[in-house]
Amino acid sequence: MILLDAKDSLPLYRQLYDRLRARILTGQLPAHARLPSVREMVHDLGVSRNTVQGAYQELYAEGYIYSAPRSGYFVSSLDQDAAQRSLKPASHAPELQPEPAAGCRFDLHPARLDPGSFPGEIWRKCFIDSLRKHRDALVAYGDPQGELPLRRELQRYLERSRGVVCEVGQIVILAGLQQGLDLVAHLLRDSHRVVAVEDPGYFMPRAVFGNHGFQVLPVPVGPAGLDLEQLAAGAGSIAYVTPSHQLPLGCVMPVASRLKLIEWAESGGRFIIEDDYDSELRYHGKPIASLQGLRPDGNIIYSGTFSKVLSPALRISYLVLPRVLLAAYRRQFRDHFCTVSLLEQQTLARFMELGHWERHLRRMRTCYKRKHDRLLRAVEDHFGPRARVTGQGAGLHVVVQLVGAAPGEAELLRRAAREGLRLYPASDFYLAHKPQGTTLLLGFGAPSLEEIDAAVALLSRICA
Amino acid sequence: MILLDAKDSLPLYRQLYDRLRARILTGQLPAHARLPSVREMVHDLGVSRNTVQGAYQELYAEGYIYSAPRSGYFVSSLDQDAAQRSLKPASHAPELQPEPAAGCRFDLHPARLDPGSFPGEIWRKCFIDSLRKHRDALVAYGDPQGELPLRRELQRYLERSRGVVCEVGQIVILAGLQQGLDLVAHLLRDSHRVVAVEDPGYFMPRAVFGNHGFQVLPVPVGPAGLDLEQLAAGAGSIAYVTPSHQLPLGCVMPVASRLKLIEWAESGGRFIIEDDYDSELRYHGKPIASLQGLRPDGNIIYSGTFSKVLSPALRISYLVLPRVLLAAYRRQFRDHFCTVSLLEQQTLARFMELGHWERHLRRMRTCYKRKHDRLLRAVEDHFGPRARVTGQGAGLHVVVQLVGAAPGEAELLRRAAREGLRLYPASDFYLAHKPQGTTLLLGFGAPSLEEIDAAVALLSRICA
């Protein structure tokens, strides 16, 4: 006996479908059993013809029943064991939720931007412009390499401000460094097995190349950046470097080393990945020019991002591929789609075209220079000779080494967390090597000037 | 003699920097040569102290010169061969530009949406809401798995409309199927080597798994979808399927086959990738329920997208990972960032929360049903017995097989292109097998009702 409930929010045909489906899956209605005709069912249940036909059509479309000409509908033959297991509800494991952000008074994370800094009003206008102009483009896929207006703006900006020499055909728009490195790994995996990374250095290249089965070779970083003798002595044939502002130590690779690195790459069909992640943020003098610009025809893959100055949550980055890789890129990726929203690409292109990007850049440089200077002063005031600062003058963090007896990193992180002070462990950046003594990375992007003072005072107390 | 030009748009300090840099790179200023003191330079050039200091500071920061206490600045020692090559301008190969879209009167591409269909006005409002609400979140990275409000909306929608049973912790927001498959390839590559794909089928799984070094095994598609006997006889331990609407043939895998496929996966630690790319678009009866919902605890990776109903250019898709892969996912990807813009995720979450997604879906179903019906009628009218239509009733295209003597595919595509009619070659979907006779995929998303008539009339003429 099938009971339908007219008060249920589920339509009657759907209720009937559910009841019949359950009987078929449990075997109550066995294989090849004939279903009542539509007319019989209408009569038995007192429902409309549409209700019964709707249910039968669904069951038929999904293969629960089959039809025989002029004899009606019959139950399909299903594997009964498999069928019955399909009726069991899924187990309900405890919900897997992302960890909630811990309560935190001062956030000295090195990759946090100034809280009020996103140019929301201007971005809104550029977005509305680009939605109006490109609405009709949204019904198809965009350019796989990234929208041309954005690549044009980028090409001009990179040439003028970063000394990068390239054509728009070399630029690929991507959703972050991880995707850029993934693309590079795909392009180079057949001919390269070992990638040299900076130690200390950013974890991302290790993670991505490791995932691709590359051997990842840590090479120590000295005051002039990556140790080129150790690089040359190792088996690496790809080198990931941050020459304009080493992450995390903050040093700049001098031009003599840059030229040597370029020669290393060219002499053996090797490749350099230049990650120029935040070199726009330099607080004295102009930004250090790119390595790519020293040898635009060299084996240099240049990577840049909008994450450090505009927003890390927009997920817009780019690669400049050397010409030598373009054919392989097109062969492997011509059928792939761009991973960045066309609307956001066009919004950013408009933002750049109207000069907002360079204005925003200048504004952020001023904002962060004040925070940077305040942080240095606060460390001087509160720590005095107990701390030595390096890597200053650029980016969103400085490196502070504690001098003399100081708690170790783990103990310090525990104490800081207890006081609501968020620190980022420097040791996370180290692979084969270890930081000397207790080393802290102090980010100054997120806190206000007053908070910087208070946070450093607090830090000084818990370091004692 | 150094000449600076006060009328040049480049600041004087930058001009001086450029001149000195060129002399160092060419060797005119040899290694360890002493530079004139700031005071001498000021006197010689008649410029301000700031100009000279600015230029010297840049050269120093980039390592072109070094300083010795109390004796001034000296030229660094550079590899002269390498240095001189850095002064040569980059070669200018002909610009690599994307091909311009060919002039086209009728676009019957199977993956084109209705031109006016993007809900621009509502999207604009949801965007402005979400920008206002989440502006401050833009200064940090978002949730690596995707923003929680969007995953919550998706979980509800998938359960209600697709019969997918999952928790928000199983949903990963991604920038398209290619990225989803890439993630799956990373998760499964250590324990699986052969992936079975539908033949004919979508090229993307072949491309992505091929790039990862998997062996790709084509398995023929019959009227009930993937041929399960051939699947079982082969070495594949991952099966990529489109069970609710086979791409491109349009058939539905009946429940008996679904259960068998599930058993195949479970009995040997194998995996099913269920690509449910457009099953929302079904024009008679309700959409076919998902395979995942038949066995929510099974080894089924469910993939969905907003590309077919909302926009392919927004680049928003998702995976529902089976619980058994969650630990590996977290281990491998916990340090990765989400690739979809936080703002667009929140915009979409808002769009869904306010009921716009389901309203839009109903509107699009009505719109495409009319186009679909018109296309069937036009084929009937213009081809009569010369064509057989299959795969109708869903999605954005139907399959048309020409009966009797008809030009081959290549010839037909040539003729069509000449007349401004864009067709998509069916043979592109075939791997080891070939379509029978001349088979066309006719997309009805892009053209208007009138254009559908005209395009089919034109097609009928050139098929004669």
Look at A90 and B297 and tell me if their CB atoms are within 8 Å. Answer: yes
Look at A312 and B337 and tell me if their CB atoms are within 8 Å. Answer: yes
**A346 contacts B341 by C-beta, under 8 angstroms:** no
Pick from B64, B58, B2: nearest CA to B33: B64
Q: Is a pLDDT exceeding 60 seen at residue B93?
A: no
Q: For residue B88, name the pLDDT band (cuts at 50, 70, 90).
A: low
Residue B416's pLDDT is what? 93
What is the arithmetic mean of pLDDT over B214-219?
A: 96
Residues of chain A with C-beta less than 8 angstroms from the C-beta of B168:
95-97
Residue A86's pLDDT is what? 74
**Please, what is the average pLDDT of chain B?**
90
**B170 contacts A96 by C-beta, under 8 angstroms:** yes
Residue A152's pLDDT is what? 96
What residue has token string 């370091």?
A463
Q: Which among B158, B164, B315 is the top mutation candidate for probing chain A, defined by the most A β-carbons within 10 Å of its own β-carbon? A: B315
As given in the structure block, the two tokens for residue A385 are 């000779």
**Which of B90, B128, B332 comes nearest A211 by C-beta?**
B332
Please write down the HEC assignment for all residues of A326-347: HHHHHHHHCCCCCCCCHHHHHH
Question: pLDDT tens digits for B136-151?
Answer: 999 989 999 999 999 9
What is the arithmetic mean of pLDDT over B164-193?
A: 95
Buried b (16+ CB within 10 A) or exposed e, A317-333: bbbbbbbebbeebeebb
Q: How many residues does chain A have?
A: 464
Residue B60's pLDDT is what? 87
**Which of A91, A131, A176 comes nearest B297 by C-beta?**
A91
Look at B113 and A295 and tell me if their CB atoms are within 8 Å. Answer: no
Look at A63 and B93 and tell me if their CB atoms are within 8 Å. Answer: no
The interface predicted TM-score (ipTM) is 0.85
Neighbours of A117 (CB within 10 A): 20
Q: In angstroms, what CA-CA distances link B202 with B172, B205, B261?
A: 22, 7, 19
Pick from B133, B119, B124, B349: nearest CA to A128: B124
From B124, which residue of chain A is nearest by alpha-carbon distance?
A: A128
Look at A63 and B256 and tell me if their CB atoms are within 8 Å. Answer: yes
As given in the structure block, the two tokens for residue B166 are 């999952």
Residues of chain A with C-beta less than 8 angstroms from the C-beta of B92:
167
What residue has token string 């199927």?
B177
Q: Is a pLDDT exceeding 90 seen at residue B374?
A: yes
Look at A77 and B120 and tell me if their CB atoms are within 8 Å. Answer: no
Residue B84's pLDDT is what? 76
Residue B10's pLDDT is what? 81
From A171, which residue of chain B is nearest by alpha-carbon distance?
A: B96
Residue B285's pLDDT is what? 77
Look at A62 and B337 and tell me if their CB atoms are within 8 Å. Answer: no
Look at B111 and A141 and tell me if their CB atoms are within 8 Å. Answer: yes
Residue A286's pLDDT is what? 78
Q: Which among A75, A311, A367 is the top mutation candidate for probing chain B, defined by the most B β-carbons within 10 Å of its own β-carbon? A: A311
Query: DSSP 3-state assignment of B274?
Result: strand
What is the arithmetic mean of pLDDT over B304-324?
A: 96
Residues of chain A with C-beta less than 8 angstroms from the C-beta of B93:
167, 323
From B267, which residue of chain A is nearest by alpha-carbon distance?
A: A82
Residues of chain B with C-beta less than 8 angstroms from the C-beta of A263:
79, 82
Shortest CA gap B234–chain A (Å):
22
Question: pLDDT tens digits for B226-259?
Answer: 999 999 999 999 999 999 999 999 999 999 999 9
Residues of chain B with C-beta less than 8 angstroms from the C-beta of A120:
131-132, 135
As given in the structure block, the two tokens for residue A55 are 């249910």
Beta bridge partners of B19: none
- Concatenated DSSP letters of B139-196: GS---TT--HHHHHHHHHHHHHHH-----GGGEEEESSHHHHHHHHHHHHTTT--EEE
Look at A252 and B204 and tell me if their CB atoms are within 8 Å. Answer: no
Q: How many residues does chain B have?
A: 464
From A336, which residue of chain B is nearest by alpha-carbon distance?
A: B178
Residue A90's pLDDT is what? 56
Shortest CA gap A29–chain B (Å):
15
- The rounded average pLDDT for each run of 10 residues, N- to C-terminus, in chain A (464 residues) is 78 88 87 90 88 88 87 86 71 45 80 92 97 93 95 95 94 96 94 96 92 93 94 97 94 92 94 95 86 94 96 96 94 87 97 96 96 97 94 93 88 92 89 86 95 96 90
**Which of A90, A111, A313 comes nearest B165 by C-beta?**
A90
Residue A355's pLDDT is what? 95
Alpha-carbon span B312 to A336, nearest angstrom: 13
**Which of B89, B141, B178 comes nearest A313 by C-beta?**
B141
Q: What's the farthest any 2 CA atoms get from each other in chain B?
A: 97
Residue B250's pLDDT is what? 92
Residues of chain A with C-beta less than 8 angstroms from the C-beta of B57:
284-285
Look at A169 and B97 and tell me if their CB atoms are within 8 Å. Answer: yes
Look at B336 and A178 and tell me if their CB atoms are within 8 Å. Answer: yes
Look at A340 and B175 and tell me if their CB atoms are within 8 Å. Answer: yes
**B332 contacts B307 by C-beta, under 8 angstroms:** no
Shortest CA gap A252–chain B (Å):
7
Residues of chain B with C-beta less than 8 angstroms from the C-beta of A85:
295
Stronger pLDDT, B300 or B51, i.e. the higher one: B300
Q: Is a pLDDT exceeding 90 seen at residue B359?
A: yes
Look at B335 and A207 and tell me if their CB atoms are within 8 Å. Answer: yes
CB contacts < 8 A (A, B)? 283
Interacting residues of A94 by C-beta distance below 8 A, sequence separation 6+: none
First and final C-alpha spacing in chain B = 79
Q: In angstroms, what CA-CA distances link A458 with A399, A425, A451, B365?
A: 17, 17, 10, 61
**B215 contacts B192 by C-beta, under 8 angstroms:** no
Stronger pLDDT, A457 or B50, i.e. the higher one: A457
Residue B45's pLDDT is what? 86
Q: For residue B95, name the pLDDT band (cuts at 50, 70, 90).
A: very low
From B53, which residue of chain A is nearest by alpha-carbon distance?
A: A285
Shortest CA gap A5–chain B (Å):
19
Look at A139 and B445 and tell me if their CB atoms are within 8 Å. Answer: yes
From B114, which residue of chain A is nearest by alpha-carbon distance?
A: A139
Which of A284-298, B261-275, B384-398 has the least mean pLDDT?
A284-298
